[in-house]
Structure 1
Amino acid sequence: MKNIYFIIKLFVLCSFAVIAYISIVLLSYESYYYCNDKNCLTFVETIKGRDLVVKVYDKRIYSRLQMKNSSYMEFYPEYIPYFEEDDNGRFIVHSDSEPKIAIGDMSNIKFVLSGYECCGTPFYKLNYYMIIF
C-alpha cells in the first residue's frame, strides 16, 4: 500500500514539473535590458503571427501586463536595433529601417535611421532575463 501512495505522489509531482517546464518554455518572452542612473531601456522578442519582432520599451518591463499597457517601438530582427546614450541620459536607438509600429510617447528614446551596424551596442549583448507571467 505504501508503494502505491509513493508512486501516485511521484507521478503527481512529475506531472506538475513537466507542466511548469512546458509553460515556461512555450509562454515566456526573451528580453534584454539596460539601465543608467535616470532611465531604463528594454528589448523584448515577441512573435506576431509567423514573424519574430523586437519591441523596444522606454522602461523596465517585468510582466506581460506591462507589455500591453506601455508605449513601444517595433522592429523586425533583421534590422537589429543598436542603442547608445546621449549626455542627458536619454537613449538613442539606431536601426537600418524605421519602426514597423510605434505606439505611445517614447519620451526617453530618440530614434535615428542609420546604416547597418553603425554604432552603439546591439540589444542582444545586454542583460538577459525571461518574462514568464
Structure 2
Amino acid sequence: MNNVKHLNKWANAHTYFSVDLVRMALGVILFFKGIAFITNTQYLADLLSPIERIGGGMIVLHYVASAHILGGILIFFGLLTRWAIIVQLPILIGAIIINFMGQMHTQNLLFSIITLVFCIAFIIYGSGKHSADYYFKMQE
C-alpha cells in the first residue's frame, strides 16, 4: 500500500495535462473497441478462433466486450484507473498471443502492443491530477 501511495505522490507532483489527455484517449479507444466487439460479435469470434478448442469462447467474448466498455469509461474519468487497467491486461496479452497463434493481423498486433505499453505506463503513473480519483482523494 505504501508503494501505491508513493507512486501517487510522485505522479501528482509530476503531472501534466497532456498525460491526462492520453489517459482519456486510451479510455475512449477501449470503450469504442468494446462497442465494436458488441456490434460485430462475429468479428470477435473470428479473432478468437485460434483458441476456440480450449472452450469458454462465449464467456471470453462477453468478458472482453464488457471489460473494454466499463474499463474504458473508468479510465476516461480516472476512477479506479489502476484496477480498470489490471482487468485489461489479460485481454491485451491474449490479443498479442492470438496474433502469433492464428493468422497474423499486423494492425491488431501493433494496436495491442501500443495499448499494452500505455496500460503498463498508467499502472505505474496512476490516474493523474485531473481525475476522479484525485478529486475524491482531495474531498477527504
Structure 2 length-normalised TM = 0.25
Higher helix share: 2
Structure 1 or 2: larger strand share? Answer: 1
Asked which structure has the greater CA Rg, the reply is 1
